[in-house]
Structure 1
Amino acid sequence: MNQIKQIHAHTLRNGLDQTKLLITRLLQLPNLHYARLLFNQILEPQPFLYNKLIQSYSNNGPFEQSLFLYSNMHSNGLPANQYTFTFLLKACVSLCRIHEGQSLHTHIVKLGFYSDLFVTTSMVDLYAKAGLLGDAEKLFDEMGKREVVACNVLIAGYGKIGDLCRARKVFDTIELKTVVSWTAMIAGYVQNDRFLEAISLFRMMTEKGMSPNEVTLASILPACASLGALGLGEEIHSYVRENGYASIFVDNALMEMYARCGCIDKAWKLFDEIPERNLCSWNTIIIGLAVHGQWRDALNLFNQMITGSLKPDDITFVGVLSACSHGGLMNHGRNYFNSMNSIYGIIPKLQHYGCMVDLLGRAGQLTEAYMLITSMPVMPDSVIWGALLGACSFHCNIEFAEKAVDFLFELEPNNPGNYVIMSNIYAARDRWDGVARVRMKMRKNGIQKVAGHSSIEVDGGVHKFMVEDMSHPRSVEIYSVLDEIAEHMRLPRFVMGQDLGFSVPG
């Protein structure tokens, strides 16, 4: 920077015009403020300098300046090129300004840049990220040569709206897939709770020799967490350490994976080891500890957090209130709930009311829980009424269960779980007339109880089983082992934990 200032001073003393060189050097730093001051002193700036500034603003912001400079450029009759429009469309994406992008689309067609691969790819990116997948797909179909970047953009766009069939169709057409292509498809599966497909695709990616990057790892770890695929999660952790991919995003995803897979001690160890912590790090470990019943540790960490420089957010209080619920700390829970708005300026959301209903319900304060629901400033959803119904099931309270289930039948009429819980509450109180009514309502509405399932990870693969399931290719071996276990359990000498004398097929 000092050298540039010296050159500038030299040109001023000697009457030399080195403005183009100075601006180019300043934009490389970048120092847009200084460069713009020099640019504004030029009486008739050339398209080259306009494009350089438009590029810098589209990369570094403020993005509006890119559009402002193009407006001046267009007013002065200066020609734009394909790079100009590529940078301008990028600025529109950053600003989420679809209307300006559509205006640029018109200019692009008029000026003959519609067939340019980079410009068309940028337009596909703009329309896809704006949610206009129909326009994006139309442009994509009209491209003579399909750029892999455009394919990746479409995959991400379809994944965002849950159209995974189209996303996979585009993905499969890419001959030379990049790590971004694989990551976009994996992220789409995870975002739509298609965790088995995500893990299968991740396995396929690594088998083909494609190395995942930080974004890939941060995308696949939530799938491991949701399926309890601890083995794969630990493999990813080892890969992160060996290849130096540790980052705040990957570390947070690893913590969540360990916590949700039941390894809260490993999650806490990782929390202590990571060099940088953000609010997400604290939220992850506080919620993890709360869910595992370690409410004292969760609340102690919360106190440590607020004594530092971090301010809690609404997610933090989900963990805090959950900790109070697991610890039976009704008064503490009320105080934390009230402090959200009064101290931290956080308006309680549905999940916070759900935590309070759960807290009060566990303590048997069903009347207070019901009054809280009816006084909420927002409309209670199925989670809120479900929390009350769950508490009524625990305490066998028919009065409030009937109130809760009436709303649940309206909010989610096809959820068989609500019918089953209500029937069980009636049965626990010997109200067989109520059981009959619920079963009759289920038959009338065509509701059937969905068979439960479980999943298990073996050798890195996740296997899903339902009751009496014979779909697994090794079902005969599996049932043979189960029969042998059952036979040993019937023996009088059977002692829990003793060596059964056989091995499970691996």
Structure 2
Amino acid sequence: MLFRSSLLLRSKRLLSYFSFSTASIAAPSISPTLLKQCKSVFQANLVHQQALIHGLLTHFSINLISTYLALSAPFHALSLLQRLTPTPSAVFWWNALIRRAVRLGFLHHSLSLFCRMLSLGWSPDHYTFPFVFKACGELSSFRHGSSLHAVICSNGFDSNVFVCNAVVAMYGRCGALDHARQMFDEMCMSEIYDLVSWNSMITAYMQSGDSKSVLGFFRRMCEVGDKDIRPDPVSLVNVLPACASMNAWLCGKQVHSYALRSGLFEDVFVGNSLVDMYAKCGMMHEAYKVFERMQEKDVVSWNAMVTGYSQIGRFEDALALFEAMREENIELDVVSWSAVIAGYAQRGLGYEAMEVFRLMQVCGSKPNEVTLVSLLSGCAAVGALLQGKGTHCYAIKCILNFDKSDPREEHLAVNAIIDMYTKCKSIKVARAIFDSIVPKDRNVVTWTTMIAGYSLHGEANDAIELFSQMLNQDISVKPNAFTISCALMACARLAALRFGRQIHAYVLRNHYDVLFVANCLIDMYSKSGDIDVARTVFDNMKQRNAVSWTSLMTGYGMHGQGEAALNVFDEMRREGLVPDCITFLVVLYACSHSGMVDEGIKYFNEMSKNFGVIPGEEHYACMVDFGSCWSLG
């Protein structure tokens, strides 16, 4: 009896909480208006219960589903939806559930909902498929996406422009550009395309990094002649990064002109893309003009300017803009902080970079992998091992310790950590980290960083051994030009002519036609005692710079062939290259090692008089050597 009384009391309290009595929830009073008044799932459950008791659930199922979705209770909504008899109008609620799952990132669940919908005999409509295709694209699931493509073809939705646009976008996100292009071409042949179709195709090419195709497709789009197919902000925001990546500033200016004529310039996203394009093309004056003209600016606008100035070495301007952002109380994000840290690191101002990082943490902004890589570079620049170790620990805690982290981000961070340890002279720690990486996960930068570390610190044998290991491994990671140069530096240090020749043969077989590789070959042959081959490499170069000429002159001087060195110097001048302080130091060195005292003194006197080069300590040291040679003579 007591138990029954407590149950009745509890029921009354629950109903009073809902703000109306049990008598008020009579059959006629349950209505859509009542359901809209529900402020919690608990209240909706009470109405649901009364609808069951009074046999009204059939009449109010749709209203209950709507209420549950509004209260973020999708599983309650799904439970009701699965009991309904399939009707075309009620498909809306399946679409709502699938759309919600996609929006919240529950991509696999959205696919499960779609499969459940089909298994219960429901027929998807043209609103259902775009949501499901988006989920397939976000998952990069070509298998699911292509299967769904077959479903729409069999159900007659391949003539619906919205569904077909979703197919193009899905294939683009999955990296299947050929399939995306085939779908687009079929749409054009059937004349069911619209502006979104073109934008979807341009976006697909942009996502794959095919900037050339982006520009080509954009030109085609402009030449269509259809008044409904005119570039909109989405088109411009996609094509401008392609201009930037190809340094196609002239094409970017044409897009800029179109934006002004069409009134699209006022869109903040278009303005930001223009600033970014000019900045990445090194045209900061143009970028600044666009920035100043923008009526509406956000943090992205400021970041584009700060990053642009930082990348071209105008760090004072970057820092001034950064300070202006702080003064105007613009909320700084990770890009803002990272740009300033990177700027300091690039100038070798590691301690200043560390101070900015400290301020960043005080302000509560969370660093990303780019921030940490820049900070590690700053630590390496000043040999700050202790701070580098701290950054390493932070990277382990925030980036390298998550299963879902992007592998590319991990590679970027790990390579920077190895580089920091090598430049801070902790070569053993760097090697331990290198060895801890699974061989299949080592990319060319990982190998190059470790080989460069050995070469930099005079451990040439280890550098050559590691390079040999890289070439002999089964995994297809080929050395790049920087790797080759580091290995050649190690050979030059050891005068390892035989191994240097093998690398030279590898260069010829694999067509490494790169200027600094040829310069390293000249240096290696010179220091390994084969100056004639060094000259042959020099003569076969398609282009030369000052390093090429000075490397050959240094080689001749090292071998006591002063006259040959001076002939190269004269040839260099005839080619139109202007000698600098390094060139004259090499000339004086060659004269000193060849006993050509008079010629050396002559060039010393001419360097300031005829070439405007002021002698430094090294030049005077060579003059002291001339004095020694003259005394001995």
Q: Which amino acid aligns with 1:33?
A: S
Give the match for residue 262 of structure 1.
Answer: 313
Give the match for residue 509 of structure 2.
Answer: 445
Q: Which amino acid aligns with 1:306?
A: Q
Q: Given the alignment of the two structures, is residue 332 of structure 1 paired with residue 396 of structure 2, yes or no?
A: no
Give the match for residue 475 of structure 1.
Answer: none
- 2: distance between equivalents of 1:398 and 1:95? 46
Give the match for residue 374 of structure 1.
Answer: 435
Cα offsets for 1:434-471 (capped at 9, x unmatched): 6862675357536454247xxxxxxxxxxxxx769xxx
Give the match for residue 158 of structure 1.
Answer: 205
Is the 2:276–2:287 contact (alpha carbons within 8 Å) kept by the matching residues of 1? no
- After superposition, the Cα gap between the structure-2 partners of 1:230 and 1:33, relative to the gap in structure 1 and judged at 3 Å, is same
Give the match for residue 362 of structure 1.
Answer: 423
Is the 2:94–2:117 contact (alpha carbons within 8 Å) kept by the matching residues of 1? no
List aligned pairs for 1:74-473, cutoff 5 A.
81-90=125-134, 92-93=136-137, 101-102=145-146, 104-143=148-187, 144-145=190-191, 146-164=193-211, 166-174=213-221, 175=224, 176-188=230-242, 194-197=245-248, 199-208=249-258, 209-210=261-262, 211=264, 213-216=267-270, 224=278, 227-239=281-293, 242-247=294-299, 249-268=300-319, 269-270=321-322, 272=326, 273=328, 275-341=330-396, 346=401, 349-366=410-427, 369-376=430-437, 380-407=442-469, 415-427=480-492, 431=495, 433=497, 437=501, 440-441=504-505, 445=509, 447-451=511-515
Higher helix fraction: Structure 1 or Structure 2?
Answer: 2
- 1: distance between equivalents of 2:466 and 2:401? 27
State the secondary structure of the residue aligned to 2:375: helix
Q: Given the alignment of the two structures, is residue 58 of structure 1 paired with residue 99 of structure 2, yes or no?
A: yes
Q: Which amino acid aligns with 1:179?
A: P
Is the 2:243–2:251 contact (alpha carbons within 8 Å) kept by the matching residues of 1? no
Structure 2's unaligned 5+ residue stretches are: 1-17, 37-61, 225-229, 403-408, 517-542, 546-574, 580-605, 615-633
- After superposition, the Cα gap between the structure-2 partners of 1:51 and 1:382, relative to the gap in structure 1 and judged at 3 Å, is same
Q: Given the alignment of the two structures, is residue 31 of structure 1 paired with residue 70 of structure 2, yes or no?
A: yes
Is the 1:195–1:223 contact (alpha carbons within 8 Å) kept by the matching residues of 2? no
- 1: distance between equivalents of 2:113 and 2:411? 45
Q: State the TM-score, normalizing by the size of structure 2.
A: 0.58
State the identity %.
20
Structure 1's unaligned 5+ residue stretches are: 453-465, 469-481, 498-506
| Aligned CA-pair RMSD | 4.9
- After superposition, the Cα gap between the structure-2 partners of 1:302 and 1:320, relative to the gap in structure 1 and judged at 3 Å, is same
State the secondary structure of the residue aligned to 2:158: coil
Q: Which amino acid aligns with 2:72?
A: H
- 1: distance between equivalents of 2:240 and 2:467? 38
Deviation at 1:495, TM superposition (A): 6.3
More off after superposition, 289-298 vs 342-351: 342-351
Cα offsets for 1:325-383 (capped at 9, x unmatched): 11211233234324543688747944444334433433445455445533545654432
Q: Give the paired residue count.
A: 454
Give the match for residue 455 of structure 1.
Answer: none
State the secondary structure of the residue aligned to 1:300: helix
State the secondary structure of the residue aligned to 2:313: coil
List aligned pairs for 1:474-489, cutoff 5 A.
none
Give the match for residue 51 of structure 2.
Answer: none
Bigger relative contact order (CA 8 A; separation at least 6):
1
- 2: distance between equivalents of 1:72 and 1:182? 40
- After superposition, the Cα gap between the structure-2 partners of 1:183 and 1:492, relative to the gap in structure 1 and judged at 3 Å, is same
- After superposition, the Cα gap between the structure-2 partners of 1:12 and 1:349, relative to the gap in structure 1 and judged at 3 Å, is same
Deviation at 1:46, TM superposition (A): 5.7
- After superposition, the Cα gap between the structure-2 partners of 1:305 and 1:351, relative to the gap in structure 1 and judged at 3 Å, is same
Q: State the TM-score, normalizing by the size of structure 1.
A: 0.70
Deviation at 1:205, TM superposition (A): 0.7
- 2: distance between equivalents of 1:275 and 1:37? 43
- 2: distance between equivalents of 1:423 and 1:345? 33
Q: Which amino acid aligns with 2:446?
A: I
